[in-house]
Structure 1
Amino acid sequence: MPTVPMEGVDESTWLDVIQKMDEVYTRLIDDEVELEKKNTELEQSQQFIFSVLTSMSDVLVVCDEGGLIEQANAALCELVGRSEAQLRGTRLYELLADDASVDAARAAMEKADAPRAGEAIELNLLDQQGQAISVDANCTPRIGGNGRRVGTVWVGRPTAELKRAYHEMRAAHEALKRTQQQLLHSEKMASLSQLVAGVAHELNNPISFVLGNVHALRKYCDRLQTYMAALHAHEPEPVLQALRQKLRIEHLLGDLPSLIEGTLEGAQRTADIVHGLKRFSAMDPEERTPVNLVEVIDRAIHWVQKGRPTPVDVRWQAGERCTVMGSAGQLQQVMMNLLQNAFDAVGGPGVASPCVWVAMAYEGAQVHVSVRDNGPGIPPEHLLRIFDPFFTTKPVGKGTGLGLSISYGIVEQHGGRLSARNSDSGGAEFILELPKAQ
Structure 2
Amino acid sequence: MRYKGIPWWGWAAAAVLYVGAAAAAVEFAWNRAIDALADVGEHRLDLYAASLKSELGRFEMVPALVARQDSVRALLKASPDEARGMLPAVDTYLEAVNDDVGSGAVDVIDAHGTVIAASNWNQPVSFVGTNVSYRPYFKDALAQGRGRFFGIGTNTGVPGLYFANAIHDGDTAIGAAAVKVSVDALESAWRTPGEAAIVVDSNGVIVISTQPEWKFTAMRAITEPQQRDIQASRQYAGRIVEALQFRRVGDWNESAWIGIFPDPRRAGDTARFLVMSRPAPQGQDTIMALLDTAGARRQQRIAFAFVTGVFLIAALYALYAVQRRRVIVEKLKAQEALRRANDQLETTVAQRTAALTQANAQMQREIAERERTEQRLRATQQEIVHAGKLAVIGQMAAGLTHELNQPLVAIRTLCDNARTFFERNQPAQAIANLERVGRLVDSMAVLTSELKAFARKPEVERVAVSLGEAIAHARLIYESRIRDEAVRLDVRIAPGTTVYAESSQLQQVIVNLLGNALDAVRDASTRVIAMEAGEADAQGRVRFTIDDTGPGIAPDVLAHLFEPFVTTKPRGQGLGLGLAITSRIVEGFGAKITATNRDEGGARFTIEFAAAEPQRTEHGR
2:350 to 73, 76, 84: 73
Q: 1:359 aligned to 2:532?
A: yes
For the residue of structure 1 that corresponds to 2:567, the secondary structure is coil
1:380 is aligned to 2:551? no
1:378/1:35 CA distance change after superposition, 3 Å: closer
- 1:200 equivalent in structure 2: 401
Residue type at the aligned position of 1:372 = D
Q: How many angstroms apart in 2 are the aligned matches of 1:196 and 1:167?
A: 44
- C-alpha distance in 1 between matches for 2:347 and 2:385: 52
Q: Which residue of 2 aligns with 1:183?
A: 384
Matched, 1:43 2:332: no
What's the counterpart of residue 160 of structure 1?
361
Aligned to 2:413, the other structure's residue is in SS state helix
SS in 2 for 1:287: coil
1:423 counterpart = 2:575: no
Measured against aligned partners, the alpha-carbon deviations of 1:130-154 in whole angstroms (never above 9, x if no partner) come to: xxxxx9xxxxxxxxxxxxxxxxxxx
CA offsets 1:168-227 (integer angstroms, 9 cap, x no match): 001111111222222222222221111111111222233334333333444455x4xxxx
Give the structure-2-normalised TM-score.
0.42
Q: Which aligned pairs between 1:26-425 and structure 2 lie closer than 5 A? A: 37-47=330-340, 73-76=350-353, 78=354, 159-220=360-421, 223=423, 247-249=424-426, 252=427, 254-255=428-429, 257-307=431-481, 310-317=485-492, 319-348=494-523, 351-364=524-537, 365-425=540-600
Match of 2:239 in 1: none
In structure 2, relative to structure 1, the CA distance for the partners of 1:41 and 1:397 (3 Å cut) is same
**TM-score normalized by structure 1?**
0.58
Over the matched positions of the two proteins, sequence identity in percent amounts to 30
Distance 1:272 1:305 in 2: 13
Deviation at 1:346, TM superposition (A): 2.1
Given residue 38 of structure 1, which amino acid in structure 2 is its aligned partner? K
1:1-37 CA distances to partner (integer Å, 9 max, x unpaired)?
Answer: xxxxxxxxxxxxxxxxxxxxxxxxxxxxxxx999875
> Root-mean-square deviation (CA), in Å?
3.0
Provide the rounded CA distance (Å) in 2 between the counterparts of 1:169 and 1:305.
45
Number of matched residues? Answer: 287
SS of the equivalent of 1:268 reads helix
Q: Secondary structure at the match of 1:73?
A: helix
Does the 8 Å CA contact 1:360/1:370 hold for their aligned counterparts? yes
**Other structure's SS at 1:425 match:** coil
Query: Which runs of no fewer than 5 residues in structure 1 stay unpaired?
Result: 1-31, 56-71, 80-134, 136-155, 224-246
Write out per-residue CA displacement over residues 267-316 of structure 1, whole angstroms, 9 at most, x where no aligned residue: 22111111111111122222234432212112223323434662322222
Distance in 2 (CA, whole Å) between partners of 1:333 and 1:33 is 78
Q: Distance in 2 between matches of 1:75 and 1:346?
A: 69
Cα deviation code 1:64-113 (max 9, x no counterpart): xxxxxxxx63233x47xxxxxxxxxxxxxxxxxxxxxxxxxxxxxxxxxx
What is the DSSP-based 3-state SS (H/G/I as helix, E as strand, rest coil) of the residue aligned with 2:534? strand
Task: Give 1:400 deviation, angstroms.
Answer: 0.9
Relative to structure 1, the CA distance from residue 382 to residue 33 in structure 2 (aligned partners, 3 Å threshold; closer, same or farther) is closer
Distance in 1 of aligned mates of 2:359 and 2:400: 61
> Counterparts of 1:417 and 1:268 in 2: how far apart (Å)?
38
When residues 51 and 382 of structure 1 are mapped into structure 2, their CA distance, relative to the original with a 3 A threshold, is farther
Deviations for 1:241-272, whole angstroms, at most 9, x for unmatched residues?
Answer: xxxxxx444xx2x3455344323222221111
The 3-state SS of whatever aligns with 1:362 is coil
Larger Rg: 2
User: Cα gap change, 1:268/1:41 in structure 2, threshold over 3 Å: closer, same or farther?
Assistant: same
Query: 2:465, 2:501 within 8 Å by CA — same for their partners in 1?
Result: yes
Note if contact 1:323-1:437 (Cα within 8 Å) is conserved in structure 2: yes
- Flag the 1:50–1:297 CA change in 2: closer, same or farther, 3 A: farther
- Cα 1:374–1:248 shift into 2, 3 Å: same
- CA deviations on 1:348-396 (whole Å, 9 max, x unpaired) are 3xx3222211112223222222111122222223221111111112221
Are the structure 2 counterparts of residues 431 and 261 from structure 1 closer, same or farther at C-alpha, using a change threshold of 3 Å? same
The one-letter code sitting in structure 2 at the alignment partner of 1:389 is P
